[in-house]
C-alpha cells in the first residue's frame, strides 16, 4: 500500500467514528505501527485536516475538511453503482431519479479510468417481483397507481429527516382499521413492500407499518420529543439488530 493510499484509508477510518478513537485502535485497524500512525496524523493535520486529540487521549476528525472526493477504489465504485441500481429498481420514482442524478454527478468528475469502471460495471440487480400498483401507498383521495404514492413516500422521508410526527389511518393484516400518531425514524425497502419503523403513541411501543396498508397520512408540524438516532439505536437493540 502506498503512503497516499494509507492516508486516505486513515481519513476513511476517522470518518466512521463520532467519538475519539485511540491511536492503538487506529494503528491496529490499518496494520501500521503507532509511530507510523502518529506521523500520518501529523501529515494530515499539516494539510489542513481537522484532527483533534493526542497520544493517550484519542483522535477525532472534525467536519470541514474534504480530501479529493472521488479517490474511489474499484470496489467502492462498484458498490456505488450496485447501490444506485438497487434504488432505481426497488425505490420509489423520486429516489430512483435521485440515484441516477447522483451517479451522473459522480461520473462527471471521476478520472477517466474510474469512469470506465462505473459505466461498465457488471454488478447487476437481479430480477424481482416489482412493487405492484396496489402495493403503493393508497392515500385516500389520490391516485395510488401514479406519482401520488411516491409523493407520500417523500412525505414520510421528510418527516423522518425533520423528526416530525405523522397522523395515519392504518389497516392491519386482519383488516382492523385504526388512527395513529407515530414518530417515524426509519423506512425499510423490501422487494415487495416498504415499511415505516416508528414509535406509536397509541401502543406506546415501536411498531412497523407497511405503506400499502396506510389508508391516509397527514404530516404534522409537531416535532417528536426524541432524536431519531436515539430511537433507531434503541429499536435495533430491542430487535437484536447489530448497531452500525
Does 38 share its domain with 78? no
Residue 244 in domain: no
Residue 149 has pLDDT above 80, yes or no: no
Mean pLDDT score of the chain:
81
Does 101 share its domain with 193? no
Residue 67 in domain: no
Residue 144 has pLDDT above 50, yes or no: no
In the predicted model, what is the mean pLDDT of residues 212-222? Answer: 93
pLDDT score, position 224? 97
pLDDT score, position 138? 40
Range of the domain at 214: 133-239
Residue 126 in domain: no
In the predicted model, what is the mean pLDDT of residues 55-65? Answer: 80
pLDDT score, position 13? 87
pLDDT score, position 140? 36
Question: In terms of C-beta density within 10 A (0-12 exposed, 13-18 middle, 19 or more buried), how is residue 26 classed?
Answer: buried
In the predicted model, what is the mean pLDDT of residues 171-199? Answer: 91
| Closest to 42 measured CA to CA, from 28, 23, 29, 15 | 23
Q: Choose one of 61, 84, 108: the last residue of a domain.
A: 61
CB 187 within 8 A of CB 198: no
Does 170 share its domain with 227? yes
In the predicted model, what is the mean pLDDT of residues 203-208? Answer: 96
Q: State the CATH number of the domain containing residue 184.
A: 2.30.30.520
Domain count, the chain: 3
Residue pLDDT, tens place only, 18-54: 789 999 999 998 999 999 999 999 998 887 788 998 8
pLDDT score, position 162? 93
Amino acid at each position: 500500500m502506498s503512503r497516499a493510499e494509507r492516508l486516505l484509508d486513515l481519513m476513511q477510518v476517522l470518518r466512521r467514528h463520532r467519538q475519539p478513537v485511540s491511536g492503538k485502535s487506529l494503528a491496529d485497524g490499518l496494520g501500521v505501527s503507532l509511530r507510523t500512525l502518529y506521523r500520518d496524523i501529523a501529515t494530515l493535520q499539516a494539510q489542513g485536516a481537522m484532527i483533534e486529540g493526542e497520544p493517550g487521549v484519542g483522535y477525532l476528525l472534525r467536519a470541514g475538511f474534504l480530501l479529493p472526493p472521488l479517490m474511489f477504489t474499484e470496489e467502492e465504485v462498484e458498490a456505488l453503482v450496485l447501490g444506485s441500481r438497487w434504488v432505481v429498481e426497488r425505490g420509489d420514482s423520486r429516489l430512483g431519479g435521485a440515484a441516477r442524478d447522483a451517479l451522473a454527478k459522480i461520473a462527471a468528475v471521476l478520472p477517466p479510468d474510474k469512469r470506465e469502471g462505473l459505466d461498465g460495471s457488471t454488478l447487476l440487480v437481479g430480477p424481482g417481483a416489482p412493487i405492484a400498483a396496489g402495493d403503493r401507498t393508497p392515500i385516500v383521495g389520490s391516485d395510488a397507481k401514479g406519482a401520488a404514492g411516491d409523493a407520500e413516500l417523500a412525505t414520510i422521508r421528510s418527516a423522518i429527516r425533520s423528526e416530525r410526527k405523522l397522523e395515519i389511518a392504518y389497516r392491519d393484516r386482519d383488516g382492523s382499521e385504526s388512527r395513529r400518531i407515530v414518530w417515524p425514524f426509519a423506512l425499510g425497502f423490501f422487494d415487495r413492500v416498504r415499511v415505516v419503523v416508528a414509535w406509536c403513541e397509541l401502543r406506546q411501543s415501536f411498531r412497523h407499518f407497511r405503506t400499502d396498508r396506510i389508508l391516509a397520512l397527514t404530516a404534522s408540524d409537531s416535532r417528536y420529543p426524541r432524536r431519531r438516532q436515539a430511537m433507531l439505536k434503541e429499536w435495533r437493540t430491542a430487535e437484536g439488530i447489530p448497531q452500525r
